[in-house]
């Protein structure tokens, strides 16, 4: 439980973390990731998340292998389905899509995945996944066949997250979907943050350092950035510097 325990400890200390999302579908040759891997290492990125709502290629294992050969940052699977289990990663977000009412993504895929996960060393991180409306239909909304939570229904999001926590889920992930037009708004993040007592992951459409900081100030404990780094990898340095400053100030306050 090393990664989950670490995230929980950081949450209790008020420290923030950052994950870089790699979609294997967008990687033709794993060596393309080298600049991003180098930047992630230099900027003390906490995690690589690997996965996507629809992975059509078979290179997930190669992508993970390449990351692990070059850097010691933990690799966490962010799977769109039980087919995306790659035992060479360090951990898996065991996602239940609790904002939706698709039984397959609430429990069905998990039944299929459970015996496979039992037989390998992946750390299983039970995660309540809430998909929030972000303007246009994202791949995850379409593929999951679920209706995203309306972005102004704060208490609905908070009650959903709370129910997830009460069911024993250890992380809550608020996602606007990859490449979202609108990131999760600050009020939704802060409302959910005030309601739950587990680490809060926020992602989708974070493409400027201002948006990243807004999410962190509103209460995100871990932000996930994918698309924006494909366009401008240097954004990572800007955001990681801000997180570093934040974590330093938390240290001095205590």
Site residues, ligand 1GP (CB under 6 A): 21, 175, 177-180, 203-206, 224-228
What CA–CA distance (Å, rounded) separates 13 from 4?
14
What CA–CA distance (Å, rounded) separates 12 from 9?
5
- Helix, strand or coil for residue 199? coil
CB 207 within 8 A of CB 2: no
Nearer to ligand 1GP, 131 or 158 (CB): 131
Nearer to ligand 1GP, 50 or 180 (CB): 180
In the complex, residue closest to ligand 1GP by CB: 203
The length of the chain in residues reads: 254
Q: Which two tokens stand for residue 145?
A: 């066949």
**Residue 96's beta-bridge partner residues?**
128
Minimum Å gap between C-beta 33 and ligand 1GP is 15
Nearer to ligand 1GP, 13 or 232 (CB): 232
Minimum Å gap between C-beta 35 and ligand 1GP is 17
- Helix, strand or coil for residue 83? coil
Minimum Å gap between C-beta 20 and ligand 1GP is 9
The CA R_g of the chain, rounded to the nearest whole Å, is: 17
CB 182 within 8 A of CB 134: yes
Minimum Å gap between C-beta 98 and ligand 1GP is 15
Nearer to ligand 1GP, 95 or 122 (CB): 95
Minimum Å gap between C-beta 49 and ligand 1GP is 8
Nearer to ligand 1GP, 162 or 223 (CB): 223
């Amino acid at each position: 439980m090393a990664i989950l325990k670490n995230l929980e400890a950081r949450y209790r200390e008020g420290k923030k973390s950052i994950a870089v999302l790699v979609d294997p579908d967008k990687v033709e040759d794993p060596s393309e990731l080298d600049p991003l891997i180098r930047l992630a290492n230099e900027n003390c990125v906490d995690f690589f998340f690997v996965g996507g709502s629809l992975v059509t290629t078979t290179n997930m294992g190669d992508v993970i292998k390449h990351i692990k050969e070059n850097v010691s940052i933990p690799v966490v699977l962010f799977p769109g389905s039980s087919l995306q289990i790659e035992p060479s990663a360090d951990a898996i977000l065991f996602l239940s899509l609790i904002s939706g009412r698709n039984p397959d993504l609430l429990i069905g895929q998990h039944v299929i995945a459970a015996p496979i996960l039992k037989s390998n060393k992946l750390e299983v991180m039970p995660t309540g996944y809430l998909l929030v409306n972000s303007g246009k239909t994202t791949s995850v909304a379409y593929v999951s066949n679920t209706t995203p939570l309306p972005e102004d229904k704060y208490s609905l999001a908070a009650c959903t997250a709370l129910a997830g926590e009460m069911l024993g889920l250890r992380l809550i992930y608020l996602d606007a979907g990859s490449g979202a037009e609108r990131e999760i708004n600050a009020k939704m993040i802060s409302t959910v943050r005030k309601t739950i007592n587990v680490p809060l992951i926020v992602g989708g459409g974070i493409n400027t350092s201002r948006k990243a900081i807004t999410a962190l100030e509103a209460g995100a404990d871990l932000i996930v950035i994918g698309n924006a780094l494909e366009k401008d990898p240097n954004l990572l340095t800007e955001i990681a510097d801000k997180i570093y400053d934040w974590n330093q100030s938390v240290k001095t306050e205590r």
